[in-house]
Structure 1
């Protein structure tokens, strides 16, 4: 069985795996306007942690989308357990199964960098309504990576290229977003220090009954890479507007 990074996350049912976790998500959403009729797409919803939080706290229409069957199963179990009527769909952010101009907000947490970025951004733009908002949390390089370092990133995460903040901004522009703001930035090293000092909450775990031994190896490689490239890799929270 050939496992990848997302298989390992799914087997352990890691919710809030993105930097800053659910705490960071809450802080971002506090500054967003929600109405009862607001339609939100949690693109790459994972175990459904963010979708659940939005549905419970903002009482709006939430649609959760993920490609991984194990994540879909765990999100479905969460929504049932918490008695939430969230529409859950299995599908890719590279081909979002909804019509044009369906959503007021699209939220993608540590998803887009693992996909074909230009295609995914165009899909987000397509399904957003006019004056819609895209919020993404994505891996961003702090410094240039050597050929060997980029190869390590590709081996662990399957990412062909890690973009700089400038390259991300250009990508949003190419997808026709009218403006992009960087809401937060941090290196991996700084984030790990926050976690070690208990300033940040740890991810949530919903482990599967059976976890393939390879999953532990992949997550160990992830941790090793974080320590090795902690100053060169980081993340940003981007907020982009559709206003055409």
Structure 2
């Protein structure tokens, strides 16, 4: 899959509510980081089900902030990326599927329904597992989707447990050799992996690279180019590795509307406008990704375990 698509280099128009804050605003606080085995000093997960203070909102990492606002699709490619991922994996009906980094649980429920499969959905964040469990219950899919708190670098599953493994925006946060080794281990022989990750379309200046990681809010974050992502899968012993690069549009207004639909977009906007801290955090994220859009893309990865 060496199919490349160009990414627009013109900076998108930013809505007024996302314009830069006055120059007198304080610099952003340290972000809450999703707990991870490599990071003993991570700040604790603040919990997204309660009312957060302004400081806690400003300190949320990007993924937890989007979930806090009520966004249901939180990956670099949106719904389009999820469909691209499923198309390259093409899972058979009735199989065992592991979704790593399940977030709010929307993808796990979609996959379970579409493929009549059993999905084990894991995430390292307790808040995300709580959110995913509530969504599974609301969809009445408890018999088909199981949500578990687990770390991709040390998964609690026997060797060869799954026919397919899916991850969306996970590898960029973690120890990649350990995570990919675990993915290969839990796949049965002949099983398939598909992943969706942020990519650098072109190598950015170091200032842009470091500011991106700071705004996203995790010290373990590391993006790669599409070819380099593919190389990491090969080094982990996976076979038939393919990688495709695609244009990043998740934070464009058309992309947002496409992923969330009119009703949920309206709900998100209401919640966004309800707090100045919400607006400030969104403005910071939107401004950065719009200003540096020429550097961002996402990669759809696929591989198999043949031995």
TM-score interval for Structure 1 and Structure 2 normalised by the shorter chain:
0.7 to 0.9
Distance in 2 (alpha carbons) for counterparts of 1:190 and 1:8:
15
> SS of the residue aligned with 2:293?
coil
Contact 1:11 1:215 survives alignment (8 Å): no
Distance in 2 (alpha carbons) for counterparts of 1:14 and 1:103:
28
Q: TM-score, normalised by structure 1?
A: 0.86
Q: TM-score, normalised by structure 2?
A: 0.69
Contact 2:195 2:302 survives alignment (8 Å): yes
Contact 1:43 1:66 survives alignment (8 Å): yes
Residue aligning to 2:248: 188
Out of 108, 113, 119, which is 1:51 matched to? Answer: 108
Contact 1:5 1:156 survives alignment (8 Å): yes
Is the strand fraction higher in 1 or 2? 1
Distance in 1 (alpha carbons) for counterparts of 2:207 and 2:190:
42
1:98 and 2:157 matched = yes
Relative to 1, partners in 2 of residues 1:175 and 1:13: Cα closer, same or farther, differing over 3 Å? farther
Distance in 2 (alpha carbons) for counterparts of 1:92 and 1:65:
8
> SS of the residue aligned with 2:294?
coil
C-alpha deviation, 1:109, in angstroms: 1.1
Instruction: Point out the more displaced range, 157-166 or 64-73.
Output: 157-166
Distance in 1 (alpha carbons) for counterparts of 2:78 and 2:249:
16
Contact 1:20 1:191 survives alignment (8 Å): no
Residue aligning to 1:69: 126
Deviation per CA, 1:145-196: give whole Å up to 9, x if none. Answer: 11111111120122543211121111101111112112x4223369838628
- Any unmatched runs of 5+ in structure 1? none
C-alpha deviation, 1:107, in angstroms: 0.7
User: After superposition, where does 1:146-165 map in structure 2 within 5 Å?
Assistant: 146-157=205-216, 158=218, 159-165=220-226
Deviation per CA, 1:45-64: give whole Å up to 9, x if none. Answer: 01111110111121111111
- Any unmatched runs of 5+ in structure 2? 1-55
Distance in 2 (alpha carbons) for counterparts of 1:190 and 1:216:
18
Q: What RMSD over aligned residues (CA atoms) do the two structures have, in Å?
A: 2.8
Larger Rg: 2
